Amino acid sequence: MVTHHSRILAVDIRSSWLGYAVFEERAKLLDFGVTRVKSRRVGVHRVAALLEGTHPTLLVLRKVGHPSRRNQPRMRIFMRFTLQEASRLAIEVAFVGEKDLYDCFNAHGAHTKQKIATLLATMLSELTSRLPPPRKTWQHEHWNMPIFDAAALGVGYLYLVGDVTVREKLATTGIFTPVLAKDSKSFSLIDCISAGVDRMQRNFEPMRRQVKAWQRSELTDVTAKVVIYEAFVEGKLEAPKHLARTVHDLYFEPKYEEFRSRTIWSLSNAFTSAFKELEPIPQLRATRVPTTANECRFPNHGAEPGDADA
């Protein structure tokens, strides 16, 4: 049975950095940040200020094993003081083991720290602007990474105790590939259509709000024709080329009144209707996304706030 806490503070303690994330009920991210710890005195002061300032009912910390690089004298001092302060303020403490933490995210396609950070940025839109770029082998870790390590602790704890909201978000988010083309401000519409087809067939309910945005997203005839051309002629979708005519006809001469509007939703329906002509295995191949995309958004298409966050 899940024990509910009105406010959870997850803290990632390092020898020189302190990352934190504050969650309220239903996994809502309330606050987050990272601070530099130049000395033991500064670290102790900031830990105390964080505990007193955020008023958590639960403190989540990483359980560090003996072989871990985090098991250093300075960090042990910070950890000991943190536990003492939590005890003084009557704050409950929970630990998340490193193996349990990574198993949680590995099960949802996040096998590296960068992918975990990407997954968290997708789940928690407040973190999107803080997502570090992929790190080169010779580069130091980005200063924002402790924020994502702290957020991972909070999300991991909620997942492990069976929080329904977090489990649903992890199950429907996954790892995505941005639909923005490299070095371009325009988005790849064919990737959006492909992602939409795949998600509607495998997991329709999380798409409910996204569909509303698609139904308001108008397309020009030229754009629709380009999408169909790229899908079949250029081979962006693993589908028989003869279906291009079927998709074209279903979009420009739809059988049903609700799909007469020139929208992303109507074009997506034309694709899915055409794929119904295929046998089960070819149909599965055709509706598979050609990248790892599990999430697509349509900026500047009149979506209401929250419509793309299903």
Reported as a pLDDT band with limits 50, 70 and 90, residue 144 is: very high
Q: What is the pLDDT of residues 215-274, one digit of tens each?
A: 777 888 888 888 888 888 887 777 788 888 988 998 898 888 878 888 888 888 888 888
The predicted model scores a pTM of 0.56
For residues 26-54, give the mean pLDDT: 87
- The percent of residues above 70 in pLDDT, for the chain, comes to 74
Cα 235 from chain centre: 28
Instruction: Point out which residues pair with 95 in neighbouring strands.
Output: 61
Tell me the average pLDDT across 169-196: 57
Ranges of each domain in the chain: 7-173, 189-287
What is 7-173's CATH number?
Answer: 3.30.420.10
Q: Determine the pLDDT at residue 176.
A: 47
Mean pLDDT rounded to a whole number for the chain:
77
Q: Encode pLDDT of 69-80 as tens digits.
A: 677 777 788 888
| Per-residue model confidence (pLDDT) at position 164 | 81
pLDDT tens digits, one per residue of 114-137:
999 999 998 898 999 999 998 888
What is the Cα–Cα distance from 165 to 71, expressed in whole angstroms?
A: 32
- Residue 153: the pLDDT is 95
Predicted confidence at residue 68, as pLDDT, reads 66
Contacts of 250 (CB under 8 A, 6+ apart): 259, 269, 270, 273, 274
- Please tell me the predicted confidence (pLDDT) of residue 96: 93
